[in-house]
A and B are shown apart, each in its own frame.
Chain A
Amino acid sequence: MDTVTRFDPRISGLSQQVKDLHDPQLVYMAKARDVRAEYIDGALHLYRHEDILAVNKHPDVLGNGGRGGSFGHDGRLIPLEIDGPDHRKWRRVLDPMFSPKRVGLMEEQIRELARGILEGVRADGGGDLNDLLCTPLPCQTFLSLVGAPLEDLEFFLEFKEGIIHPKGETTEEIDANMAVAGGKLLEYFDTFLKEKRTRLDEYDDVIANLMRAEFDGEPINEFDLINVLFLLLFAGLDTVTASLSCILAWFGKNPDRRAELVTEPDLLRVAIEELVRFESPVPSGMRYPQTDIDLGDGLIVPADTQVNAFWAAANVDPTYHADPLRVDFHREKLSHMAFASGIHRCIGSHLARLELKVAVGETLRILPEYDLDLSALTYDNVAVRTATSIPVSV
C-alpha cells in the first residue's frame, strides 16, 4: 500500500493485530518499550506518551479530519474533524454544555437508574452486564442530557451500531453501510428538530441550547446542527458503554482487587482513572502534521504523514508510566491519554467519568461478589474496545 492511500484504522494497522485479544495491553506495552514508532499500512503509529503529547501540542497538526470527513457523513464532523479558529468557536459553545459542573447535575439521576438496574440483576441472580447495565445506562443518561426522546432509544442504538461497528470488509463497504445508518438519522432529525423548535422554551438540554446559540449574531444553521448532533450521538452512545464493559469485566477477572475497593470505596476515583488508563477504550486517533516535527533521538515526523496516535500504547508506555501493566489504586501520576490529548480531547470525558464512578460504585455496593463466566467473556478491540459479553451470576 502506498502512502497516498488514506489510512483506515477500522481495517488496517495495529488494531487488526489485536482485534479480539483479551489483553492487548501486553502488545501495546511492548510496542511502546521496544518499537516507539513504526509505519503500518502507510500510517506512522506512535506508541510513546511524550511523542504523542509533542505532536498533539504542535500548532501545525490537524486532527482526525485532516484528510476530510469520515463516519458515513458528508463533510467534516463538528468538532472532531475540524481545526483552527472554527474548532475553537465550536468548542467555546459546546464545552459548557459538557463541563464537570453541568454534568454533575445528573449524578442523582444516574445513580437512581443504576440502582434500579442492579437491584433487578440481583433479584434475577445474574445476567449479562453488557446488555443489562453497560448499554442502557449511558444511553439513557446521554439522551436525557442531549434532549432526545428516551422512547426512541432502540432507534438510536441501531444507529450507533451502524456507525461504530458497521458491517463490511473494505473501506467502501463499511462507508456504504455507515451512510445507510447516517441517512436514517438525518431523516429522523429533520422531523424531530422542526417539532422541537416550536416548543423550544420548554427545554434546557444540549439540542435546545444549540438551537438558541448564536455565532456573531447568527443562529446555527440546520445543516451544522445535524452535523454536531450526529457526532455527539454516536460518540456519546458507545464509548461509555464500552468503557464500563471493560471495567466490569476487569473486576470480574480480578476479584481480589475488587474486594479492595469494596472495603475502601474512597479509592474509587483513582481506580476509575487507572482503569480507563489501562483499558483505553478508544485505542487511537489520527493526526496530520502540516510541517516536519522533530521528536528527538532521530525520530522526525515528516509533513503530511498520516499519524496513528496510539493512546492505548501511550497509556502503558514503560518509558513514562512506572509499572504500567499494574492497575494501581494509589498511583501518583494519573496523566493518561484515555480521552486523547491536545485541543481535540474528548468533550464527553466529564460525563464519562461521572457515569463510570456512579455505575461502578453502585455495582460494587449492590453486587460486591459477582461471579464472571470467564469462558464466555469476549472482546472487540477495533474502533472502541468493548467487552461484548459479560455473563455474571450473583
Chain B
Amino acid sequence: MRAKLIPNRCVGHAQCFAVNEDLFPIDDDGYSTFGDREIGPGDEAPIRQGVSACPEQALVIVE
C-alpha cells in the first residue's frame, strides 16, 4: 500500500497528526510533510485512520 499527500490541498487542520503524531509529521507551521510513501503492513490500519481524518481529502491511499 502507498499513501501520499496532495500538498496544495493541505490547509493545516493537522487532524492526521492528532490521530498519530509519529506517522503523520507536520512542519513548524502545522502543515503536513507526509510526502509519498510505501506503507508497511503493520502501519496500514493507523495510516488509514489518519488519511480518513483529513477533512480536505489532502491525504490519499494509493493501493
Contacts and interface: CB of A to CB of B under 8 A. Distances in A.
Interface of A: 53, 57, 92, 95-96, 98-102, 269-270, 273, 332-337, 339, 341-343, 345, 349-350, 353
Interface string B1-38: 00000000101111101110000001011110000000
B14 A53 contact: no
Nearest to B57: A53
Nearest to A339: B13
Nearest to B49: A332
Given A53-B57, A334-B52, A334-B53, A350 B19 contact: no
A100 B14 contact: yes
Contacts of A345: 11-13, 55
Nearest to B55: A335
A336 B17 CA distance: 14
A308 B55 CA distance: 18
A79 to B, nearest CB: 12
A303 to B, nearest CB: 23
B60 interface: no
**Top 5 A-B pairs ranked by shortest CB distance?**
A99-B30, A334-B53, A95-B29, A333-B52, A335-B55
8 contacts: A99-B26, A100-B14, A100-B18, A101-B26, A333-B53, A334-B49, A345-B55, A353-B18
Contacts of A336: 55
B56 interface: yes
Contacts of B14: 100, 349-350
Q: Is the interface of A mostly helix, strand, loop or mixed?
A: helix
B26 A335 contact: no
B30 A341 contact: no
Q: Chain A CB within 10 Å — which of B13, B14, B55 has the most?
A: B55
B54 interface: yes
Given A95-B12, A332-B48, A349-B13, A53 B29 contact: no
A342 B54 CA distance: 11
A234 B18 CA distance: 25
A334 B19 contact: yes
Q: Chain B CB within 10 Å — which of A269, A334, A337, A339 has the most?
A: A334
Contact of B17 (A53, A100, A341): A100
A337 B55 contact: yes
Nearest to A330: B49
Contact of A335 (B9, B12, B52): B52
Contacts of A57: 9, 56
Contacts of B13: 339, 345, 349
A156 B42 CA distance: 49
Contacts of B18: 100, 269, 273, 353
